[in-house]
């Protein structure tokens, strides 16, 4: 009977050995999978950080561009206002001339109406006297 116990013990040892190998093999596969998942997560975290830094840099560039455009807009608005005032000034001149003619009876002088006054040469005190 001792001989019949021996094969049973060997069978039990083989069965335990096979199940330990299965557990150990499963354990190593689980660790490998766990390491792969951790590496993938680390890569995703680094990629996410890089993308965030790129987006912040792009935001700063866009904000600077926006500020430059706002400054340019203000300058253009000032120029526009100046040009509007200038336009109103020039458009008012014909209206003033028209009102001066119609309401006040003014007219542009003709050549006969114009008199050009030039300074005379100073007279010397010797030639003339008080008696002239």
Low-confidence ranges of the chain (pLDDT < 70): 1-28, 124-132
| Phi, psi (degrees; rounded to nearest 5) at 109 | -70, 145
Q: Is 131 left (phi over 0), alpha (psi -120 to 50) or beta?
A: alpha
- Residue-level pLDDT at 132: 46
- Residue-level pLDDT at 42: 97
- Residue-level pLDDT at 28: 65
- Residue-level pLDDT at 1: 46
Which residues, at least 6 apart from 107, have a Cβ–Cβ distance to it below 8 Å? 101
């Amino acid at each position: 009977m001792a001989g019949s116990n021996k094969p049973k013990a060997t069978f039990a040892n083989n069965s335990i050995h096979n199940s330990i190998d299965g557990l150990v093999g499963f354990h190593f596969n689980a660790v490998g999978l766990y390491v792969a998942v951790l590496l993938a997560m680390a890569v995703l975290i680094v990629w996410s950080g890089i993308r965030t830094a790129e987006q912040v840099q792009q935001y700063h560039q866009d904000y600077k561009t926006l500020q430059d455009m706002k400054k340019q807009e203000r300058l253009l608005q000032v120029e526009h206002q100046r040009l509007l005032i200038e336009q109103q000034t020039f458009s008012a001149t014909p209206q003033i001339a028209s009102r001066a003619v119609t309401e006040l009876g003014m007219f542009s002088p003709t050549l006969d109406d114009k008199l050009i006054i030039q300074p005379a040469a100073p007279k010397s005190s010797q030639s003339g006297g008080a008696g002239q």
